[in-house]
């Protein structure tokens, strides 16, 4: 089964901000892609933050590979664009399954799934929840009781309870960097060349009003081991010639 992971464009960028040429790796999507790939699925990543084009053009790019499922990551300002792209994708292939995750989903799950072009939303950590959803879809099983899942049924928005967080982050695979053109991820103000974003842990004990961490990851901190992080850095250097990290 083919899975398309999508980062929508950041249309807020303009003027000096846009001219700076700052692009961050969609590390969350790269980890999800790696996770589902090691479980037998065929993922691709589309980072429209790097490309120009409207929702129709984005949808055509995504659907050119005929995916079975599309997974969007979504910050709140980008949600309207997610809805537009999902709608255009369903015009091309009506039975393609659309799934949205990210901080906006965790803050407003019922707002997300009320749109007809959005089939499911995943709250909290996405790896286990998305894999469960994919397995159930592929096997034709009922998904209505899956943890972390939100969806609309008979006009009602259903939000299922979350499963426990992943305790050992070292069990997660390294990001699928091979699915991205890493040369594009630059920040001239801080790095000399391409850089990668590393996820060293999840969760934060604080509750800042401007941050979504507590909503997505919870307030209990979980950290990867230093050796695990060093191994990821070593692979990035040897296989992708990346020398800078954040």
DSSP per residue, 171-184 = GSPPP-GGGS-GGG
**Residues 160 and 147 sit within 8 Å (Cβ to Cβ):** yes
The answer on pLDDT for 107 being more than 70 is yes
Question: What is the chain's mean pLDDT, rounded?
Answer: 92
Helix, coil or strand: residue 150: strand
Band the pLDDT of 13: cuts 50, 70, 90: low
Confidence of residue 16 (pLDDT cuts 50, 70, 90): low
Q: In what order do the strands lie in the sheet with 97-101?
A: 42-47, 2-7, 69-73, 97-101, 120-122, 149-153, 156-159
| pLDDT over threshold 80, residue 215 | no
Q: How confident is the model at residue 15 (pLDDT cuts 50, 70, 90)?
A: low
pLDDT, mean of residues 83-112: 94
Given pLDDT bands bounded at 50, 70 and 90, which one contains residue 211? confident
pLDDT of 121 strictly over 70 = yes
Cα separation, 82 vs 133, in Å, equals 20
Q: For residues 136 and 142, is the Cβ–Cβ distance under 8 A?
A: yes
pTM of the model: 0.94
Which pLDDT does position 17 carry in this prediction?
64
For residue 77, the model assigns a pLDDT of 87
What is the residue-wise DSSP string for 31-69? Answer: HHHHHHHTTT-EEEEEETTSS---HHHHHHHHHTT--SE
Residue 13, CB half-sphere, CA atoms under 13 Å: how many? 15
Arithmetic mean of pLDDT, 127-134: 98
Residue 52 scores a pLDDT above 80: no
């Amino acid at each position: 089964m083919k899975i398309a992971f999508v980062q929508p464009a950041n249309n807020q960028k303009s003027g000096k901000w846009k001219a700076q040429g700052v692009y961050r790796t969609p590390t969350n999507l790269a980890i999800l892609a790696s996770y589902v790939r090691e479980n037998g699925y065929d993922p691709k990543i589309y980072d429209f933050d790097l490309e120009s084009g409207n929702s129709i053009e984005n949808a055509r790019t995504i659907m050119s590979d005929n995916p079975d499922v599309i997974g969007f990551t979504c910050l709140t300002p980008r949600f309207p664009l997610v809805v537009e792209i999902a709608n255009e994708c369903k015009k091309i292939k009506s039975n393609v399954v659309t799934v949205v995750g990210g901080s906006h989903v965790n803050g407003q799950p019922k707002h997300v799934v009320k749109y007809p072009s959005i089939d499911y939303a995943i709250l909290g950590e996405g790896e286990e929840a998305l894999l469960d959803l994919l397995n159930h879809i592929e096997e034709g099983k009922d998904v209505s009781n899956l943890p972390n899942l939100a969806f609309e049924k008979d006009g009602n928005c259903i939000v299922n309870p979350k499963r426990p967080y992943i305790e050992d982050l070292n069990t997660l695979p390294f990001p699928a960097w091979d699915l991205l053109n890493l040369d594009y991820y630059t920040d001239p103000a801080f790095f000399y060349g391409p850089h990668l974003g590393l996820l060293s842990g999840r969760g934060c004990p604080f509750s800042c009003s401007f941050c979504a961490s507590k909503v997505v990851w919870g307030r209990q901190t979980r950290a990867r081991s230093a050796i695990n992080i060093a191994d990821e850095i070593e692979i990035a250097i040897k296989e992708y010639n990346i020398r800078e990290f954040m």
